């Protein structure tokens, strides 16, 4: 992901912080380490976090400045306690210092109130659908991290009521936020919904069906520019019918299950064909395409592929001419780049992030991760804002990720992130830095226990190095996570282990490591404290009072 050219700094003159009279900060830098996907769960054979040899992390968690924070459900702006946290909402909360209603909650309200159907965007999509074909594209599950099938079903039913007679669904198989091989259950539910719609509209020759699909980590849902060929495969599959042909999505999944032990997320692209072998759902001029994912990071690139008139990441005309379709997203996934131009639900407006305040105070900072999580400590952290807030005060560093299965390289780029972070800390230029170690989440999503254990051990090794440098510089290190994942790697029923590739509902660690600490402050975790309480804590440790409206700090003086 390339940071767009920076414009005028965002912080308004009115933004300002008062000094903390009880604590002026340490002379050295404050470093925030976000161990992505590392939650807190009871020890056991399925917990890669506790199964790993992690003496450094163990010592941190045993310190008097250690507690836990909520990272799921209402604590991060999601509808209920049954909703697992994710990196988007987690980093939004970490950077904003407050809880904002997030994607799923916003969409639920827009659908329940009917506000979504009252938008000009929905009406335009319907007009195109009445004359041509209405396509729905998105992650096909109820994981509620990127999408929810209930949203798809409600829109399909409403489209039929609004006069659309031909609709096609392009399914991205999950197996990541839900069980690894659960696609057939979701497909059966969707086929039942489509059958009911078709039967109810038989007099009007209503024809709604699944047209194409593939695993979310194989096609379409790339992020941060890590793998544009993945987006191209998805674009050509959904648009031009390029993929392995099958008579139904269930047949496609059953066949690929029999051929390998791959989970849903890694299955190849497929297209549904008629009796003559012709794809049933290619896209043409005048069609409408609704991307029903509500989370932004893995929706931006495919949105650009459909709507950007100057798109050049791959040749959209390589298979057939790029069709002129009306494209819209569930939300606007990038408010700065205005991607997509048309969307059904207004995204959360997140302002007064901690970065805006620090820039207003002239505090120099850095943010670093590898490509897979780079946008988490920049874009999501800054309230879904692309680019720098103030390029004269901020440095963003992206370590390129490798395009390989992450269980084959459990260390990912954790050591490289650490090396570069140490350089930044030792430069003496920065008072605050934040980094994301991606491997607890990315390797955890593969469902491979031993690889995730190895990933945790590399994180521990690198944490020891960072602590030593921060101590030598007279600074403070804060350790936390954005959600759980590696803490439950499998479930077991009747002695049969089933890999768990999704996030967990568990809390995450929060630890302050301060070698100069002599009781000046203590952990004072407010009731229901979650990730949104971190920003105020960081400001307190930097010697500032948190601004009005921020969730209270996790420490007290």
Rounded to a whole number of angstroms, the CA Rg of the chain reads: 24
Q: Are 554 and 537 in contact (CB under 8 A)?
A: yes
Distance CA 416, CA 232 (A): 29
Indicate which residue of 46, 68, 87, 365 is catalytic: 87
The C-alpha atoms of residue 10 and residue 77 are separated, in whole angstroms, by: 25
118 CB-contact burial (10 Å; exposed 0-12 / middle 13-18 / buried 19+): exposed
Q: Which helix (H) or strand (E) holds 509?
A: strand 508-513
Burial bucket for residue 245 (CB in 10 Å: 0-12, 13-18, 19+) = middle
d(CA 498, CA 500) in angstroms, rounded, equals 6
Q: Give the helix ranges, DSSP H, for 5-86.
A: 48-51, 55-61
Token output for 182: 């659960």
What CA–CA distances, in Å, run from 347 to 61, 330, 332? 36, 9, 6
Question: Which of 132, 130, 127, 169 has its CA nearest to residue 152?
Answer: 169
Q: Pairing state of beta strands 66-69 and 508-513?
A: antiparallel
Peptide bond into 378 cis (omega under 30): no
Helix or strand (DSSP H, E) at 401? none
Torsion, Cα 410 492 80 347, to 10 degrees, reads 30
Q: Is 212 a catalytic residue?
A: no
Backbone angles phi, psi at 441, to 5 degrees: -85, -50
> In residues, how long is the chain?
557
Helices (H), 181-282: 183-200, 228-240, 249-259
Kindly write down the DSSP assignment for every residue of 327-338, as one continuous string: EEEEE-SBTTTT
The SS3 call for residue 408 is helix
Alpha helices in 428-550 (DSSP H): 439-442, 449-472, 534-541
Which tokens go with 41?
């769960």
φ/ψ of 488, rounded to 5, equals -140, 110
| DSSP one-letter code for 427 | T
CA angle 303, 306, 310 (to 5 degrees): 100
Tokens linked to 384: 């879904």
Beta strands 166-173; 207-215: pairing state: parallel
- Catalogue the active-site residues: 87
């Amino acid at each position: 992901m390339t940071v767009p050219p920076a414009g005028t700094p965002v912080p308004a003159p009115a933004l300002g912080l008062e000094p903390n009279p009880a604590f002026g900060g340490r002379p050295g830098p404050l470093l925030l380490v976000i161990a992505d996907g590392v939650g807190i769960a009871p020890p056991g054979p399925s917990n890669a976090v506790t199964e790993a040899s992690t003496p450094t992390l163990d010592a941190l968690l045993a310190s008097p400045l250690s507690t836990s924070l909520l990272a799921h459900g209402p604590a991060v702006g999601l509808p209920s306690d049954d909703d697992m946290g994710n990196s988007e909402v987690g980093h939004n909360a970490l950077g904003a210092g407050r809880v904002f209603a997030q994607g799923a909650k916003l969409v639920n309200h827009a659908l329940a109130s009917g506000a979504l159907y009252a938008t000009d965007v929905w009406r335009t999509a319907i007009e195109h659908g009445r004359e041509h074909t209405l396509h729905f594209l998105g992650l096909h599950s109820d994981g509620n991290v990127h999408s929810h099938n209930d949203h798809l079903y409600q829109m399909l039913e409403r489209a039929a009521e609004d006069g659309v007679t031909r609709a096609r669904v392009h399914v991205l198989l999950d197996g990541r936020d839900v069980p690894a091989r659960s696609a057939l259950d979701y497909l059966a539910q969707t086929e039942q919904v489509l059958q009911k719609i078709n039967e109810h509209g038989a007099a009007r020759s209503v024809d709604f069906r699944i047209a194409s699909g593939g695993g979310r980590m194989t096609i379409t849902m790339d992020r941060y520019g890590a793998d544009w060929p993945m987006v191209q495969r998805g674009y050509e599959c959904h648009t031009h019918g390029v993929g392995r042909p099958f008579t139904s999505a269930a047949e496609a999944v059953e066949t690929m299950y029999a051929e390998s032990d791959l989970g849903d997320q890694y299955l190849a692209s497929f297209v549904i064909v008629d009796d003559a072998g012709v794809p049933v759902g290619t896209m043409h001029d005048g069609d409408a395409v609704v991307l029903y994912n509500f989370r932004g990071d893995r929706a931006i690139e495919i949105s650009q592929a459909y709507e950007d008139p100057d798109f050049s990441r791959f040749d959209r005309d390589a298979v057939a001419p790029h069709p002129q379709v009306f494209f819209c997203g569930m939300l606007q996934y990038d408010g700065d780049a205005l991607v997509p131009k048309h969307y059904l639900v207004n995204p959360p407006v997140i302002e007064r992030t901690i970065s805006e305040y620090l820039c207003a105070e002239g505090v120099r900072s850095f943010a670093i991760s590898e490509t897979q999580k780079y946008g988490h400590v920049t874009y999501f952290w800054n309230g879904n804002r692309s680019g720098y807030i103030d390029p004269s005060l901020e440095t963003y560093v992206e370590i390129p990720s490798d395009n390989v299965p992450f269980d084959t390289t459990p260390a990912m780029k954790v050591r490289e992130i650490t090396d570069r972070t140490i350089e930044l800390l030792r430069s003496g230029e920065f008072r605050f830095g934040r980094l994301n170690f991606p491997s607890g989440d990315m390797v955890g999503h593969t469902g491979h226990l031993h690889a995730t254990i190895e990933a945790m051990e590399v994180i521990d090794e690198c944490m020891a190095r960072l602590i030593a440098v921060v101590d030598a510089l007279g600074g403070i290190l804060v350790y936390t996570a954005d959600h759980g994942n590696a803490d439950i790697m499998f479930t077991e029923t009747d002695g049969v282990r089933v890999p768990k590739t999704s996030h967990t509902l568990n809390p995450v660690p929060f630890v302050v490591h301060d070698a100069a600490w002599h009781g000046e402050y203590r952990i004072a975790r407010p009731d229901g404290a979650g990730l949104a309480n971190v920003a105020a804590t960081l400001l307190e440790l930097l010697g500032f009072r948190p601004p009005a409206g921020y969730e209270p700090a996790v420490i007290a003086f």
